[in-house]
Amino acid sequence: MSQHSRFLLYILGSIALGAIVGGSFPDQALHAKFLGDIFLNALKMIVVPLVVASMIMGVTNLGDIRKLGSIGKRTIIYYMVTTALSVIVGLILVNIIKPGLGVSHGETLETVAYRIEGKQVLLLNSSLSDTQYDSRHQVLLEDQGIVGALSSPASSDRISVSDWTSSSTGESVTPSPSGFGIRIDLGVATKVQGKDRTIFQVLTDVVIGMVPENIFKAMVETDVLPLIVFSLLFGGVLTTLGDVAKPVISLIAGINETIMKIVHIVITFAPVGIFGLIAGRMGQSGGWAGFLPELIKLGWYASTVISGLLIHGLVVLPLILLFIARRNVATFVNNQLPALTTAFSTASSSATLPLSIECVTLKNRISNRVSSFVLPLGATINMDGTALYEAVAAIFIAQVYGISLGPFEMVIIFLTATLAAIGAAGIPEAGLVTMVIVLRAVNLPIEGITLILIIDWFLDRCRTTVNVWGDAVGAAVIAHYEGETENADPQAA
């Protein structure tokens, strides 16, 4: 067995072991979380110098800066097309499977009498039809206009709340001791509160953010897109300076080689770090007892998202790799597996970038001038999995609330999911924020996000894996159009 095969087995084994330990012993698994944190921090530590050094070297290796135009144009077209394809796959599946039918978001009891006992609502001569309501929900006293967030799971005739607030002003109030009519519904998730923005605002922020007022602030915040722009500008200017630039280029080349060696050292500890990430995250979710019931409850929704990701990742992208990039799919996937498993473990395209670059350049033999441009840009704006997830989630929420969407609304979801994915930074759960944009575009309730939030951490890992896989396939496609062969020298200009 080759060293590469053994390493893959170690990584897959660490994922399985992490899931078993975290699922079976959640409290103890939390103590292993620090191993994953160290590994994740080590990856993030080298993202900035890797992006800057590799992109500058990629530009200087071009020789003629005008060659960058063809690479950039082809890269953007590829990313837009594959993102659009992923959304189409998601829209087709969610409309066929209809995972939201039969899922309850709440209920209204217009005529029921109730009595207030402190922070509890006691139903008189009536009961709830569903006792699965928990802290994600809230109760509205309709005759008083007062809302209370549930503090614990509701029983059939008693609802406990954490506090009482006015539904119109949000101020703390004291309800009347009795009344008629209550409504239980989902509340707005804390993670998306105050994140209500339009698609124009998000895209405007992306464009403005490409030119940072402080490049060092962008480095501190690991904001990759402005670093890409700065590196392109820096490398482009170096190509015009002639002999004066040679010492600078040699220095950056040395830095780039050093960073790649550091990447190799960090990857060596990947099995331990991945075990800590998976075990710790399972532990935070309460193990199998906390995660599986929620996964089963939203089983059709999760299955729809995962099925869409599998179709896009195992059918659409491999076909592109085979017929457009002219690559052997099995070999390419095998060489890319360390990056893909790391993407699943970290749920971060940016953190996975060092491994993606190493796998693409050293194992799949794609030149540095292509990979150093395509991969960092892809980690920032290419979100195939995220776009698919947002389209499925939006229509799932519409189905839960019984809201019918016509062809026009489907087109709006297609466009906003495709564009909003560009504004989703390569960090965990950024898709939840851009999800608000998609829901608002077709006037769907953002409270529905609360329903899917509890299993989003798992789906986030699945869609991040597809995002990273799409970046790698993109590098192969661009390399093919740039005239590279499968056995090209990765250091070639």
pLDDT at 64: 63
CA distances 170 to 120, 146, 148, 173, Å, are 19, 9, 11, 9
Location of structure tokens 């700065």? 230
How many Å apart are CA 327 and CA 319, to the nearest integer? Answer: 10
Give 399: exposed, middle or buried? Use CB within 10 Å, 0-12, 13-18, 19+: buried
Closest to 340 in 3D by CA, of 385, 295, 373: 385
Location of structure tokens 């698609």? 199
pLDDT range class, residue 428, cuts 50, 70, 90 = very low
Provide the whole-model pTM.
Answer: 0.85
pLDDT at 189: 65
pLDDT mean over 199-224: 80
DSSP class of residue 363 equals: I
How many Å apart are CA 304 and CA 90, to the nearest integer? Answer: 8
CB 442 within 8 A of CB 413: yes
How many Å apart are CA 70 and CA 85, to the nearest integer? Answer: 23
pLDDT at 430: 59
3-state secondary structure of 452: helix
3-state secondary structure of 21: helix
CATH 3.40.50.150 fits 3-101+195-481, yes or no: no
pLDDT mean over 132-158: 81
Sequence ranges of the domains in the chain: 3-101+195-481, 107-189
pLDDT at 493: 46
Using CA of residue 226, residue 229, residue 233, residue 238, what is the dihedral sign?
Answer: positive
How many Å apart are CA 172 and CA 325, to the nearest integer? Answer: 61
Tokens of 138: 């809230």
Selected residue with higher pLDDT from 96 and 436: 96
How many Å apart are CA 355 and CA 339, to the nearest integer? Answer: 5
CB 369 within 8 A of CB 58: yes
Tokens of 144: 């008083």
pLDDT (tens digit per residue) in 280-328: 989 988 889 888 887 888 889 999 999 999 999 999 999 999 999 999 9
Selected residue with higher pLDDT from 86 and 122: 86
Closest to 38 in 3D by CA, of 281, 353, 269: 269
DSSP string, 139-193: EEETTTTEEEEESS---SSEEEEEEEEETTT--B----SEEEEEEEEEPPPGGGT
Location of structure tokens 């395509």? 374
For β-strands 120-124 and 178-186, DSSP reports them as: unpaired
pLDDT range class, residue 191, cuts 50, 70, 90 = low
CB 277 within 8 A of CB 345: yes
Location of structure tokens 């070297």? 57
Tokens of 396: 């799932």
pLDDT range class, residue 330, cuts 50, 70, 90 = very high
